[in-house]
Amino acid sequence: MRPSSDLIRLALPFVALGALLGGVFWLQPRAMSYTGLNLLFNLAVPIALATLAQMFIIAVNDLDLSMGAFVGFAACVTATFLNETPWLGGLILLASVAVYAALGVVIHLRRLPAIVVTLGMSFVWLGLAVMILPAPGGAAPGWLRTLMTVRPPGIPMALAASLLIALAAHLVVARSALGVVIRGVGGNERSVARAGWSVLHARAAAYALAGLFGVLSGMALVGLTTSADANIALRYTLLSIAGVILGGGEFVGGRVSAVGAVAGALTLALAGSFLSFLRLSPDWQIGAQGAILILVLALRLGLDAIEQRRARA
């Protein structure tokens, strides 16, 4: 049996990640070590979490332009309230997840364009973050710091955590009934509604999950950097969208993959390190991320074209 197009699609992000990793190892064999890998994937965990958060929104055919600001907000709360008065910090983060769910409800009921609503929310999250932390500062709670810098035997923390996160998100998205309904809303909202499901609940749940993963991303970021800043994660908005698409996700139609999204995020995180090994200026780090995105999309188009030609034959 020849591999299906789904399989090729799913494999593409891993091929890109593998190729990039192979390139790094070839240029710098010393990177092929525990410490080397730890360095390469240093900031991969928060990026992966933010990408998964964005994935839940894209699964229901929406887009979140506030992801970066929200992660920054969660980071600021983590570095201040959660550190000083944990119960209050926890409450604030929980409330922010509830705000996300409420956004889903409003967007669904009023049929608002998610792009504009989240654009507005990005100002709100950024403003709140600036009020909490007017200047860079704060401190990571000790337990979080320990968690993020733990050195498990054999496999670097960043990779182990990414694997665990990917697995957890995969269980929610691909294995749970909720995940099926959320993707079903992205694929064919009408027929999901016709079968008696509440599309409103599904969308609210998708947004709540996005909020949850956004909060986790902010916490992980603070655990790694030990302090926070309102602008710390602004780039995550665009990175998270790119990560979902790199990971085999489609903008519309509910086609998303949690494992792919994490692979996409790792690829983006690696793109920067790859350049420095090539002795190319780190200035091109962002550019390399864009180029990889375009390359993968072009490859995907080519594969689809071949698939179609084969189907017609």
Question: In terms of CB distance, is 59 or 262 closer to other proteins?
Answer: 59
- Give least dist CB 60 to other proteins, A: 12
Question: In terms of CB distance, is 149 or 281 closer to other proteins?
Answer: 281
- Give least dist CB 154 to other proteins, A: 31
Token pair belonging to 241: 């969208």
Q: How far from 199 is each of 53, 60, 62, 106, 126, CA to CA, in Å?
A: 19, 10, 14, 13, 30
How far is residue 20's CA from residue 273's CA, in Å, rounded to a whole number?
A: 10
Question: In terms of CB distance, is 37 or 296 closer to other proteins?
Answer: 296
Contact 264, 247 (CB under 8 A): yes
- Give least dist CB 43 to other proteins, A: 17
Question: In terms of CB distance, is 30 or 279 closer to other proteins?
Answer: 279
Question: In terms of CB distance, is 20 or 157 closer to other proteins?
Answer: 20
- Give least dist CB 312 to other proteins, A: 10
- Give least dist CB 297 to other proteins, A: 5
Question: In terms of CB distance, is 4 or 85 closer to other proteins?
Answer: 4
- For residue 90, which phi and psi values (nearest 5 degrees)? -60, -40
Contact 243, 51 (CB under 8 A): yes
- Give least dist CB 144 to other proteins, A: 24
Contacts with other proteins by CB under 8 A lie at: 4-6, 63, 65, 106, 110-113, 115-117, 119-131, 134, 175, 177, 180-181, 183-184, 186-188, 190-192, 194-197, 234, 238, 241-242, 245, 251-255, 281, 283-291, 293-294, 297-298, 301, 311
Question: In terms of CB distance, is 31 or 202 closer to other proteins?
Answer: 202
How far is residue 254's CA from residue 236's CA, in Å, rounded to a whole number?
A: 21
- Give least dist CB 128 to other proteins, A: 6
Question: In terms of CB distance, is 146 or 308 closer to other proteins?
Answer: 308
Residue 113's nearest CA partner among 42, 61, 73 is 61
- Give least dist CB 32 to other proteins, A: 27
Token pair belonging to 119: 């654009």
